[in-house]
């Protein structure tokens, strides 16, 4: 068999950006000699006329058409044009989508670019977690103005667990402890009040939480840290700061992290925090 030195021409047709088809074409081309291939990407196809035009070009230069189309009307147009023209085509998604449908007994979303959107969500969550870690417990107050939400409250009011829960929802969160002996950073007062959430709690419940925390750490459980008088002093100071900020205040007494986080998410999605 005589090997041809002709470089194959492949039209990449997609109703999204065409990355998937291009990757597959490159993988297939690598199995043939040098793997050289002339790829001509036709992304964001929206109508039958675009498909017809591609077939005319492909037919004139003896090209292959590799396509990743999920919109049913466009897939039908591709099949119709395939019957009219003597052009080699490769449906990269079709057979596998059919297999998934048969096994799952579900209909595909037929939404172009869905993988990229899912990837965007994933990477946003990763970035949000990294942000929450970097800005946990008042670290790097210069970054407070970059946060979508800033949580403020005295020690052991669930600031860190809330930050991490919200970060896994893709929300950029920083948290800051309020301590009577320490002035809040000036950056806190640069933030619009609608982006700040103050956290308060019943002093007796907080005393028990702090007591258990000290015991777990092997520290003196009779320290001033667990005294109700000290806790009430801290809460009074925190409320004074929150009033000055003009922020929303949540009482986290007897509430799970998920419950408080979902209330905050409702505010975010409702446009109250923006």
| pLDDT of the residue at 274 | 45
Which residues face 175 on adjacent strands? 151
144 and 253 in a single domain? The answer is yes
For residue 227, tell me if it sits in a domain.
Answer: yes
Q: What pLDDT does 241 receive?
A: 97
**Number of folded domains that form the chain:** 2
Mean pLDDT confidence for 15-35: 83
Residue 120 and residue 88 share a domain: no
Confidence of residue 1 (pLDDT cuts 50, 70, 90): very low
Q: Which two tokens stand for residue 35?
A: 């793997």
pLDDT given at position 215: 86
Asked if residue 70 and residue 18 are part of one domain, the reply reads yes
Within-domain flag for 3: no
Query: What percent of the chain lies above the pLDDT cut of 70?
Result: 91
Q: Where among 96, 112, 128 does a domain terminate?
A: 112
Q: Give mean pLDDT, residues 203-230.
A: 90
* Residue whose pair of structure tokens reads 């669930």 in the numeric block: 158
Q: Which domain holds residue 144?
A: 115-269
Same domain? 143 vs 251: yes
CA distance 37 to 56: 20
Whether 195 maps to a domain, the answer reads: yes
177 and 246 inside one domain: yes
The verdict on 133 and 175 lying in the same domain is: yes
Residue 165, pLDDT > 80, answer: yes
Top-ranked range on mean pLDDT: pick from 84-88, 185-189, 270-274: 185-189
In this structure, the answer to whether residues 105 and 124 fall within a common structural domain is no
pLDDT digits (tens, 9 = 90+) for 218-243: 888 778 999 999 999 999 999 999 99
Task: Express each pLDDT in 113-135 by its tens digit.
Answer: 565 555 567 778 888 999 999 99
Domain closes at, from 80, 112, 144? 112
Say yes or no: 89 and 140 in one domain. Answer: no
Find the mean pLDDT for residues 31-44: 84
Statement to judge: residues 223 and 125 lie in one domain: yes
Average pLDDT over residues 86-95: 86
174 DSSP β-pair partners: 150
Mean pLDDT of 65-87: 88
* C-alpha torsion sign, points 99, 104, 105, 110: negative
Q: How confident is the model at residue 172 (pLDDT cuts 50, 70, 90)?
A: very high
CA-based end-to-end distance of the chain: 67
Q: For residue 126, give the CATH number of its domain.
A: 3.40.50
Does the pLDDT at position 63 exceed 80? Answer: yes
* Rounded-to-integer distance, Cα 4 and Cα 177, Å: 71
> What would the mean pLDDT of 145-170 be, rounded to a whole number?
95
pLDDT for 118 equals 53
Residues 170/121, Cβ–Cβ less than 8 Å: yes
CB distance 185 to 176 below 8 Å: yes
pLDDT confidence tier of residue 3, bands split at 50, 70 and 90: low
Q: Are residues 76 and 153 in the same domain?
A: no
Return the residue matching tokens 């992290």. 257
Most confident of 4-18, 86-100, 158-172: 158-172
Following CA atoms 257, 259, 260, 261 in sequence, which dihedral angle do they give, to the nearest 10 degrees?
A: 80
Distance CA 219, CA 221 (A): 6
What does the pLDDT read at residue 269? 74
156 occurs within a structural domain: yes
């Amino acid at each position: 068999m005589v090997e041809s030195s002709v470089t194959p021409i492949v039209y990449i047709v997609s109703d999204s950006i065409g990355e998937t088809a291009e990757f597959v074409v490159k993988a297939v081309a690598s199995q043939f000699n040098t793997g050289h291939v002339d790829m001509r990407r036709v992304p964001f196809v929206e109508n039958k006329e675009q498909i017809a035009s591609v077939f005319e070009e492909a037919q004139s230069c003896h090209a292959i058409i590799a396509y990743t189309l999920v919109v049913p009307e466009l897939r039908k147009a591709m099949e119709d044009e395939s019957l009219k023209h003597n052009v080699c085509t490769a449906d990269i998604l079709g057979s596998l989508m059919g297999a998934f449908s048969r096994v799952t007994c579900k209909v595909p979303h037929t939404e172009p670019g869905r993988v990229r959107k899912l990837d965007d969500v994933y990477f946003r969550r990763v970035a949000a977690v990294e942000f929450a870690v970097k800005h946990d417990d008042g670290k790097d107050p210069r970054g407070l103005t970059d946060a979508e939400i800033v949580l403020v409250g005295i020690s052991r009011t669930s600031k860190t667990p809330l930050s991490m829960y919200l970060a896994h929802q893709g929300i950029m969160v920083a948290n800051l402890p309020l301590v009577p002996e320490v002035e809040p950073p000036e950056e806190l007062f640069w933030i619009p009040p609608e982006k700040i959430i103050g956290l308060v709690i019943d002093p007796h419940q907080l005393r028990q939480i702090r007591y258990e925390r000290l015991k777990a750490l092997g520290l003196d459980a009779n320290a001033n840290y667990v005294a109700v008088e000290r806790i009430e002093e801290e809460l009074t100071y925190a409320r004074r700061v929150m009033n000055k900020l003009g922020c929303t205040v949540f009482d986290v007494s007897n509430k799970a992290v998920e419950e408080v986080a979902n209330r905050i998410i409702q505010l975010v999605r409702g446009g109250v925090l923006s």
